[in-house]
Structure 1
Protein backbone atom coordinates (compact mmCIF):
# COMPACT_ATOMS: atom_id res chain seq x y z
CA UNK A 1 0.00 0.00 0.00
CA UNK A 2 1.02 3.64 -0.44
CA UNK A 3 1.76 4.30 3.23
CA UNK A 4 3.97 1.22 3.48
CA UNK A 5 5.85 2.31 0.36
CA UNK A 6 6.24 5.86 1.72
CA UNK A 7 7.66 4.46 4.97
CA UNK A 8 10.13 2.37 2.97
CA UNK A 9 11.29 5.50 1.13
CA UNK A 10 11.72 7.42 4.39
CA UNK A 11 13.64 4.49 5.93
CA UNK A 12 16.33 5.16 3.32
CA UNK A 13 16.65 8.75 4.55
CA UNK A 14 14.99 10.11 1.42
CA UNK A 15 12.26 12.70 0.88
CA UNK A 16 8.85 11.33 -0.06
CA UNK A 17 6.24 12.85 -2.32
CA UNK A 18 3.22 11.92 -4.32
CA UNK A 19 1.88 13.14 -7.66
CA UNK A 20 -1.85 13.31 -8.17
CA UNK A 21 -3.43 13.21 -11.60
CA UNK A 22 -6.17 15.64 -12.63
CA UNK A 23 -8.77 12.94 -11.89
CA UNK A 24 -7.43 12.25 -8.37
CA UNK A 25 -9.15 14.04 -5.50
CA UNK A 26 -7.26 15.43 -2.52
CA UNK A 27 -9.45 13.23 -0.31
CA UNK A 28 -7.87 10.20 -1.99
CA UNK A 29 -4.52 10.98 -0.35
CA UNK A 30 -5.81 11.91 3.12
CA UNK A 31 -4.25 8.85 4.80
CA UNK A 32 -0.84 9.96 3.52
CA UNK A 33 -1.43 13.56 4.58
CA UNK A 34 -2.60 12.48 8.02
CA UNK A 35 0.45 10.26 8.47
CA UNK A 36 2.72 13.30 8.09
CA UNK A 37 5.06 11.29 5.90
CA UNK A 38 4.86 13.43 2.75
CA UNK A 39 7.42 16.10 1.97
CA UNK A 40 5.73 17.21 -1.24
CA UNK A 41 2.41 16.85 -3.04
CA UNK A 42 2.71 17.31 -6.79
CA UNK A 43 -0.56 18.32 -8.42
CA UNK A 44 -0.50 17.45 -12.10
CA UNK A 45 -2.47 20.17 -13.89
CA UNK A 46 -2.31 18.15 -17.12
CA UNK A 47 -2.43 14.46 -17.94
CA UNK A 48 0.99 12.86 -17.57
CA UNK A 49 2.82 11.93 -20.71
CA UNK A 50 3.57 14.89 -22.93
CA UNK A 51 4.14 18.64 -22.75
CA UNK A 52 2.18 21.52 -24.15
CA UNK A 53 -1.20 20.54 -22.75
CA UNK A 54 -3.82 22.99 -21.53
CA UNK A 55 -3.87 23.75 -17.80
CA UNK A 56 -6.79 22.12 -15.99
CA UNK A 57 -8.27 24.68 -13.60
CA UNK A 58 -9.24 21.98 -11.10
CA UNK A 59 -5.59 22.18 -9.99
CA UNK A 60 -6.28 25.56 -8.36
CA UNK A 61 -9.01 24.08 -6.17
CA UNK A 62 -6.66 21.25 -5.18
CA UNK A 63 -3.96 23.75 -4.19
CA UNK A 64 -6.49 25.61 -2.05
CA UNK A 65 -7.69 22.37 -0.44
CA UNK A 66 -4.15 21.26 0.34
CA UNK A 67 -3.15 24.66 1.71
CA UNK A 68 -6.25 24.69 3.93
CA UNK A 69 -5.52 21.16 5.17
CA UNK A 70 -1.88 22.12 5.73
CA UNK A 71 -2.88 25.17 7.78
CA UNK A 72 -5.57 23.39 9.83
CA UNK A 73 -3.42 20.34 10.59
CA UNK A 74 0.00 21.98 10.75
CA UNK A 75 1.15 20.01 7.75
CA UNK A 76 4.80 20.18 6.81
CA UNK A 77 4.78 19.44 3.08
CA UNK A 78 5.29 21.53 -0.03
CA UNK A 79 2.56 21.90 -2.65
CA UNK A 80 3.82 21.79 -6.23
CA UNK A 81 1.88 22.27 -9.46
CA UNK A 82 3.21 20.69 -12.63
CA UNK A 83 1.94 21.34 -16.15
CA UNK A 84 0.22 23.97 -18.22
CA UNK A 85 2.20 26.86 -16.75
CA UNK A 86 2.20 30.15 -18.59
CA UNK A 87 1.91 33.86 -17.83
CA UNK A 88 -1.79 33.49 -17.02
CA UNK A 89 -1.83 30.26 -15.02
CA UNK A 90 1.31 30.78 -12.91
CA UNK A 91 -0.13 33.77 -10.98
CA UNK A 92 -3.35 31.83 -10.33
CA UNK A 93 -1.41 28.92 -8.88
CA UNK A 94 0.86 31.20 -6.83
CA UNK A 95 -2.13 33.13 -5.46
CA UNK A 96 -3.78 29.84 -4.48
CA UNK A 97 -0.72 29.17 -2.30
CA UNK A 98 1.48 26.73 -4.22
CA UNK A 99 5.05 26.51 -3.00
CA UNK A 100 6.59 25.21 -6.24
CA UNK A 101 5.72 25.66 -9.93
CA UNK A 102 7.00 23.36 -12.65
CA UNK A 103 7.23 24.75 -16.17
CA UNK A 104 8.72 22.93 -19.11
CA UNK A 105 7.20 23.42 -22.54
CA UNK A 106 6.34 27.07 -21.87
CA UNK A 107 9.97 27.86 -21.13
CA UNK A 108 11.67 25.70 -23.73
CA UNK A 109 9.31 26.76 -26.51
CA UNK A 110 9.06 30.42 -25.50
CA UNK A 111 9.08 32.66 -28.56
CA UNK A 112 12.02 34.74 -27.30
CA UNK A 113 14.08 32.91 -24.68
CA UNK A 114 13.93 30.75 -21.59
CA UNK A 115 14.95 33.77 -19.49
CA UNK A 116 12.09 35.91 -20.81
CA UNK A 117 9.68 33.03 -20.32
CA UNK A 118 10.81 32.66 -16.70
CA UNK A 119 10.39 36.39 -16.17
CA UNK A 120 6.87 36.17 -17.58
CA UNK A 121 6.02 33.36 -15.15
CA UNK A 122 7.21 35.43 -12.20
CA UNK A 123 5.28 38.61 -12.98
Structure 2
Protein backbone atom coordinates (compact mmCIF):
# COMPACT_ATOMS: atom_id res chain seq x y z
CA UNK A 1 0.00 0.00 0.00
CA UNK A 2 1.60 3.24 -1.18
CA UNK A 3 0.73 6.83 -0.35
CA UNK A 4 1.36 9.60 -2.89
CA UNK A 5 0.51 12.99 -1.36
CA UNK A 6 -0.59 15.60 -3.88
CA UNK A 7 1.40 18.81 -3.71
CA UNK A 8 -1.62 20.52 -5.30
CA UNK A 9 -2.73 20.95 -1.68
CA UNK A 10 0.67 22.26 -0.55
CA UNK A 11 2.00 25.82 -0.23
CA UNK A 12 3.22 26.64 -3.75
CA UNK A 13 5.37 29.48 -2.42
CA UNK A 14 7.44 26.96 -0.44
CA UNK A 15 7.46 23.77 -2.49
CA UNK A 16 10.90 22.54 -1.42
CA UNK A 17 9.87 22.80 2.24
CA UNK A 18 6.46 21.28 1.56
CA UNK A 19 7.82 18.28 -0.28
CA UNK A 20 10.26 17.73 2.57
CA UNK A 21 7.32 17.44 4.96
CA UNK A 22 6.22 14.18 3.28
CA UNK A 23 9.48 12.27 3.48
CA UNK A 24 7.55 9.33 4.97
CA UNK A 25 5.52 8.99 1.76
CA UNK A 26 6.22 6.60 -1.10
CA UNK A 27 5.82 9.26 -3.78
CA UNK A 28 5.12 12.95 -4.25
CA UNK A 29 2.18 13.39 -6.61
CA UNK A 30 2.67 16.32 -8.99
CA UNK A 31 -0.32 17.48 -11.03
CA UNK A 32 0.57 19.11 -14.33
CA UNK A 33 -2.41 20.95 -15.87
CA UNK A 34 -2.34 23.01 -19.04
CA UNK A 35 -5.62 24.94 -18.89
CA UNK A 36 -6.84 23.10 -22.01
CA UNK A 37 -7.39 19.42 -21.21
CA UNK A 38 -8.65 20.57 -17.81
CA UNK A 39 -9.84 24.07 -16.82
CA UNK A 40 -6.92 24.76 -14.52
CA UNK A 41 -3.26 25.71 -14.88
CA UNK A 42 -0.53 24.57 -12.50
CA UNK A 43 3.12 23.94 -13.35
CA UNK A 44 5.32 22.44 -16.03
CA UNK A 45 8.67 20.95 -16.95
CA UNK A 46 11.01 23.46 -15.29
CA UNK A 47 9.26 23.12 -11.90
CA UNK A 48 9.21 19.32 -12.12
CA UNK A 49 12.92 19.31 -12.89
CA UNK A 50 13.62 21.59 -9.92
CA UNK A 51 11.50 19.46 -7.60
CA UNK A 52 13.24 16.27 -8.73
CA UNK A 53 16.54 17.75 -7.62
CA UNK A 54 15.37 18.39 -4.03
CA UNK A 55 12.62 15.86 -3.35
CA UNK A 56 13.32 13.19 -0.70
CA UNK A 57 10.82 10.89 -2.45
CA UNK A 58 10.34 10.03 -6.14
CA UNK A 59 8.00 12.16 -8.21
CA UNK A 60 4.72 10.71 -9.44
CA UNK A 61 3.75 13.11 -12.22
CA UNK A 62 0.14 13.19 -13.42
CA UNK A 63 -0.22 14.89 -16.80
CA UNK A 64 -3.62 16.48 -17.35
CA UNK A 65 -2.60 18.01 -20.64
CA UNK A 66 -3.31 17.92 -24.35
CA UNK A 67 -0.84 16.08 -26.59
CA UNK A 68 0.83 13.88 -23.93
CA UNK A 69 2.33 11.91 -26.83
CA UNK A 70 4.71 14.84 -27.32
CA UNK A 71 5.40 15.75 -23.70
CA UNK A 72 5.25 12.62 -21.53
CA UNK A 73 8.78 11.32 -22.08
CA UNK A 74 10.18 14.79 -21.43
CA UNK A 75 8.83 14.64 -17.87
CA UNK A 76 10.69 11.36 -17.38
CA UNK A 77 13.82 13.06 -18.70
CA UNK A 78 13.20 15.91 -16.23
CA UNK A 79 13.41 13.47 -13.31
CA UNK A 80 9.93 12.06 -12.80
CA UNK A 81 10.06 8.41 -11.76
CA UNK A 82 6.45 7.75 -12.76
CA UNK A 83 4.55 9.55 -15.51
CA UNK A 84 0.78 9.22 -15.89
CA UNK A 85 -1.09 10.46 -18.94
CA UNK A 86 -4.78 10.46 -19.84
CA UNK A 87 -6.00 8.00 -22.44
CA UNK A 88 -8.59 10.58 -23.50
CA UNK A 89 -5.83 12.95 -24.62
CA UNK A 90 -3.38 10.53 -26.20
CA UNK A 91 -3.30 9.83 -29.92
CA UNK A 92 -1.36 6.57 -29.41
CA UNK A 93 -1.59 5.18 -25.88
CA UNK A 94 0.84 2.30 -26.41
CA UNK A 95 3.51 4.40 -28.13
CA UNK A 96 3.32 7.06 -25.43
CA UNK A 97 3.61 4.48 -22.65
CA UNK A 98 6.62 2.94 -24.38
CA UNK A 99 8.28 6.33 -24.75
CA UNK A 100 8.00 6.91 -21.00
CA UNK A 101 9.52 3.53 -20.21
CA UNK A 102 12.31 4.10 -22.72
CA UNK A 103 13.09 7.36 -20.89
CA UNK A 104 13.54 5.40 -17.66
CA UNK A 105 10.28 6.01 -15.78
CA UNK A 106 7.23 3.97 -14.91
CA UNK A 107 4.39 4.49 -17.38
CA UNK A 108 0.78 4.88 -16.27
CA UNK A 109 -2.56 5.57 -17.91
CA UNK A 110 -5.35 7.59 -16.30
CA UNK A 111 -9.10 7.22 -16.82
CA UNK A 112 -11.60 10.03 -16.22
CA UNK A 113 -14.80 9.03 -14.40
CA UNK A 114 -16.80 8.69 -17.63
CA UNK A 115 -14.11 6.62 -19.39
CA UNK A 116 -14.57 2.86 -19.47
CA UNK A 117 -11.61 0.63 -18.70
CA UNK A 118 -12.80 -2.12 -21.08
CA UNK A 119 -11.10 -0.63 -24.12
CA UNK A 120 -7.71 -0.57 -22.41
CA UNK A 121 -7.65 -3.95 -20.64
CA UNK A 122 -5.52 -5.47 -23.39
CA UNK A 123 -2.81 -2.82 -22.85
CA UNK A 124 -1.85 -3.85 -19.31
CA UNK A 125 1.48 -5.32 -20.44
CA UNK A 126 2.44 -1.88 -21.75
CA UNK A 127 1.94 0.02 -18.48
CA UNK A 128 3.07 -0.08 -14.87
CA UNK A 129 0.01 1.54 -13.29
CA UNK A 130 -3.61 2.42 -14.01
CA UNK A 131 -5.04 5.54 -12.38
CA UNK A 132 -8.78 5.56 -11.79
CA UNK A 133 -9.93 9.12 -11.18
CA UNK A 134 -12.39 9.35 -8.30
CA UNK A 135 -13.20 12.98 -9.11
CA UNK A 136 -13.33 14.93 -12.36
CA UNK A 137 -9.72 15.99 -13.04
CA UNK A 138 -8.77 19.63 -12.75
CA UNK A 139 -9.21 20.80 -9.18
CA UNK A 140 -8.39 19.54 -5.71
CA UNK A 141 -10.84 19.34 -2.83
CA UNK A 142 -13.67 17.67 -4.74
CA UNK A 143 -16.00 15.06 -3.26
CA UNK A 144 -15.09 11.39 -3.61
CA UNK A 145 -17.04 9.51 -6.30
CA UNK A 146 -17.87 6.16 -4.73
CA UNK A 147 -19.37 4.88 -7.99
CA UNK A 148 -15.84 4.61 -9.39
CA UNK A 149 -15.09 1.67 -7.09
CA UNK A 150 -16.67 -0.70 -9.60
CA UNK A 151 -14.09 0.44 -12.14
CA UNK A 152 -11.28 -0.07 -9.62
CA UNK A 153 -12.49 -3.63 -9.09
CA UNK A 154 -12.66 -4.21 -12.85
CA UNK A 155 -9.05 -3.10 -13.19
CA UNK A 156 -7.98 -5.26 -10.24
CA UNK A 157 -9.65 -8.33 -11.73
CA UNK A 158 -8.05 -7.70 -15.12
CA UNK A 159 -4.60 -7.21 -13.57
CA UNK A 160 -4.94 -10.42 -11.58
CA UNK A 161 -6.12 -12.39 -14.62
CA UNK A 162 -3.21 -11.10 -16.68
CA UNK A 163 -0.71 -11.80 -13.91
CA UNK A 164 1.11 -8.53 -14.52
CA UNK A 165 2.74 -6.33 -11.83
CA UNK A 166 0.53 -3.32 -12.51
CA UNK A 167 -0.36 -0.97 -9.66
CA UNK A 168 -3.84 0.54 -9.33
CA UNK A 169 -3.98 4.15 -8.20
CA UNK A 170 -6.94 6.25 -7.07
CA UNK A 171 -6.94 10.04 -7.06
CA UNK A 172 -9.62 12.38 -5.78
CA UNK A 173 -11.29 12.70 -2.42
CA UNK A 174 -9.06 10.08 -0.83
CA UNK A 175 -9.09 10.56 2.94
CA UNK A 176 -9.32 8.69 6.23
CA UNK A 177 -13.03 8.24 5.44
CA UNK A 178 -12.57 6.74 1.97
CA UNK A 179 -9.17 5.04 1.76
CA UNK A 180 -10.37 1.72 3.14
CA UNK A 181 -13.16 1.59 0.56
CA UNK A 182 -10.58 2.21 -2.18
CA UNK A 183 -8.26 -0.50 -0.87
CA UNK A 184 -11.07 -3.03 -0.54
CA UNK A 185 -12.04 -2.35 -4.16
CA UNK A 186 -8.50 -3.25 -5.22
CA UNK A 187 -6.42 -0.06 -5.21
CA UNK A 188 -2.89 -0.11 -3.83
CA UNK A 189 -1.61 3.43 -4.54
CA UNK A 190 -3.48 6.36 -3.03
CA UNK A 191 -3.23 10.05 -3.93
CA UNK A 192 -4.23 12.27 -1.03
CA UNK A 193 -4.07 16.05 -0.99
CA UNK A 194 -5.83 17.87 1.83
CA UNK A 195 -5.97 14.63 3.84
CA UNK A 196 -2.18 14.99 4.14
CA UNK A 197 -1.34 18.68 3.71
CA UNK A 198 -4.42 19.79 5.61
CA UNK A 199 -3.06 18.12 8.74
CA UNK A 200 -0.67 19.68 11.24
CA UNK A 201 1.82 16.84 10.71
CA UNK A 202 1.71 15.64 7.09
CA UNK A 203 4.23 12.84 7.69
CA UNK A 204 2.08 11.42 10.48
CA UNK A 205 -0.99 11.71 8.25
CA UNK A 206 0.79 9.64 5.61
CA UNK A 207 1.51 6.91 8.15
CA UNK A 208 -2.08 6.87 9.36
CA UNK A 209 -3.46 6.57 5.84
CA UNK A 210 -1.04 3.77 4.98
CA UNK A 211 -1.98 1.89 8.14
CA UNK A 212 -5.67 2.23 7.33
CA UNK A 213 -5.16 0.89 3.82
CA UNK A 214 -3.07 -2.02 5.05
CA UNK A 215 -5.62 -2.89 7.73
CA UNK A 216 -8.46 -2.96 5.20
CA UNK A 217 -7.37 -6.29 3.77
CA UNK A 218 -7.75 -5.01 0.21
CA UNK A 219 -5.30 -4.16 -2.54
CA UNK A 220 -3.26 -6.61 -4.52
CA UNK A 221 -3.32 -10.27 -3.43
CA UNK A 222 -0.12 -11.83 -2.14
CA UNK A 223 1.89 -13.48 -4.92
TM-score by length of 2: 0.49
Do 1:46 and 1:55's aligned partners in 2 also have CA atoms closer than 8 Å? yes
Is 1:102 the counterpart of 2:223 in the alignment? no
Please name the residue that 1:21 is paired with: 112
Between the aligned partners of 1:72 and 1:30, the Cα distance in structure 2 is 10
More helix by share: 1
Do 1:59 and 1:81's aligned partners in 2 also have CA atoms closer than 8 Å? no
Is 1:114 the counterpart of 2:202 in the alignment? yes
Partner SS for 1:41: strand
How many residues were matched structurally?
120
Alignment of 1:1-123 (within 5 A): 1-33=92-124, 36-110=125-199, 112-115=200-203, 117-118=205-206, 120-121=208-209, 122-123=211-212
1:34-84 deviation digits (Å, cap 9, x = unpaired): xx0110111111111111100111221111111111111212210011110
Structure 1 stretches of 4+ moved >6 Å = none
More strand by share: 2
Shift in alpha-carbon separation, 1:118–1:12, aligned structure 2, 3 A = closer
TM-score by length of 1: 0.84
1:113 Cα deviation after fit? 4.0
